[in-house]
Structure 1
Amino acid sequence: MPTPLFDQVVVTVCFAPGEDADWFAASEKVNDLLHADGTPARRYHVRHRRLIGWLTRFLGYYLLDAARRFGAVTMAAGGRKGRLDLTGTAAKAAHHAALRWRTWNTHIAATTRPAHPWEDYLAQHNADPTKLRLAEARRRFEQQPRVLAMLAHHLDPYELSVYQAGEATYVGLHWRIALIGNALITTDGRLLIPTSDSVADRIRFLNEACAYLCSLRSSARLCAVAIA
């Protein structure tokens, strides 16, 4: 069954200043806490300082798994917080999310009736799996006209509840996802994850994780890991 809201499982690993913060250290932390292997995920835009941007644009210092375009560093899987453009990363995700929601609002919400989100059918299945099997729950969910229309427009129907919650909620969720992913490992080794798959619990988790990320000093290191 597709996992709602996420294209892939991503864990943000945080390191304290002075701690070994390379890709291998991040991989070890993920393996220790989640018993999974992964690869670097280039999710962050790179910040270029205004006064010396022409120089830093071509230098990969304090970055992990940096990507270049025409020689200039543009994206990275992590690095020193002060070198990552977290604001730009969130802004780009918010922009694309707003475009998706407006497409949904114009072509889906305006032409179809509200539908029951996947969470409702999943709850019915979990309450009595013998009465409503998972495959049948999925079939009933996807046969709704609004869900069929979303599939036709290449919009993820498993995000239906968030789309129906309004543009601000949908956009706010996705810029937080761009910064955090599915889980966050703190500098002291704590694992922050949603308490359930519900959208409300994911929003609570993302709010907590974003607040933690903002509290870190600019010298702290980050690394985004995509779990296979």
Structure 2
Amino acid sequence: MPKPAPLTDQIVTVCFGPGDDADWFAASEKVNDLMDANGTPARRFRIRHRRLIGWLTRFFGYYLLDAARQFGAVTLAAGGRKSRLDLPGMSLIAANEATARWRAWHLHINATTKPARVWEDFLAQHHADPDKVGLAEARRRFEQQPRVLAMLAYAGGHVFDPYELSLYQAGEATYVGLYWRTALIGDALITTDNRIMRPASNSLADRFRFLNDACMYLRSLNDRARLCAVTIA
């Protein structure tokens, strides 16, 4: 793995065709059968409210799964009909947040420290000779670099993950591009015909290949198709 095990659970987006049974139990069954994992609904989809009738639809949870409300209005859901989910809004919010985070990193870290070797370089040393360079030693060597220490020490309004250093150093467009795609897809996607789409490895290149393919697949789905986000440990 290119970084220590994530502290957060994995998100799987499950897709259903327009005529399929598309409730939470069906999504859970797909995840269990295809990925041998148990999951819970993840309320991560923003709800789309049409301009002309949004005042009415915002209070109804039809075609939605596990909807959450605020002051009576539906705001989030674990899934639902594609046409009711605000996918563009989700990607825009994620892009804006990632842009602010990368620009803060650029100002406070990139402008004040020298480029550092990325975690993947030290992990390769460990894999090449685990007896000579243990995983703990590889991590120590990586984290003692001034740029990495600066990222860990930063106490502003953002959290900089030093194990994403290769992503930060790839530039703003690359950094933001990963995050708005991930906001739509999560970590894996199950298609309507029960195929699992996920990265071939944890490398950034493979993650981008997966996300690009999954986003294209999502765009190709009929507006009456349904999506469900599932959290698995």
Give CA deviations for 1:54-107 in whole Å, capped at 9, x if unaligned.
010111111111111111111111110000000000000001000100110000
Could you say which residue in structure 1 is the equivalent of 2:116? Answer: 115
Partners of 1:64 and 1:85 lie apart in 2 by 14
Runs of 5+ consecutive residues of structure 1 not aligned to the other structure: none
SS at match of 1:112: coil
**Larger displacement relative to structure 2 (30-39 or 203-212):** 30-39
Q: Which amino acid aligns with 1:162?
A: L
Shift of residue 165, structure 1, vs aligned partner: 0.5
Give CA deviations for 1:157-183 in whole Å, capped at 9, x if unaligned.
111111100111000100000011111
Could you say which residue in structure 1 is the equivalent of 2:225? Answer: 220
Could you say which residue in structure 1 is the equivalent of 2:11? Answer: 10
Could you say which residue in structure 2 is the equivalent of 1:64? Answer: 65
Partners of 1:8 and 1:87 lie apart in 2 by 24
Match for residue 177 of structure 1 among 182, 193, 198: 182
Give CA deviations for 1:23-60 in whole Å, capped at 9, x if unaligned.
11111111111111111111111000111100101111
Partners of 2:33 and 2:126 lie apart in 1 by 33
Could you say which residue in structure 2 is the equivalent of 1:41? Answer: 42
Q: How does 1:114-193 map to 2 (within 5 A)?
A: 114-153=115-154, 154-193=159-198
Partners of 1:8 and 1:171 lie apart in 2 by 21
SS at match of 1:130: coil
SS at match of 2:173: helix
TM-score (norm 2): 0.94
Q: Which amino acid aligns with 2:142?
A: F
TM-score (norm 1): 0.96
Runs of 5+ consecutive residues of structure 2 not aligned to the other structure: none
Give CA deviations for 1:176-205 in whole Å, capped at 9, x if unaligned.
000111111000000011111100110111
Q: Which amino acid aligns with 1:133?
A: G
**Larger displacement relative to structure 2 (87-96 or 144-153):** 144-153
Q: How does 1:73-112 map to 2 (within 5 A)?
A: 73-112=74-113
Report sequence identity in percent.
73
SS at match of 1:223: strand
Alpha-carbon RMSD: 1.2
What is the count of residue pairs matched by the alignment?
227
Shift of residue 127, structure 1, vs aligned partner: 2.0
SS at match of 1:175: helix
Partners of 1:42 and 1:176 lie apart in 2 by 17
In the TM superposition, structure 1's runs of 4+ consecutive aligned residues that sit over 4 Å from their partners are none
Residue 176 to residue 222, structure 1, CA distance change in 2 (3 Å): same
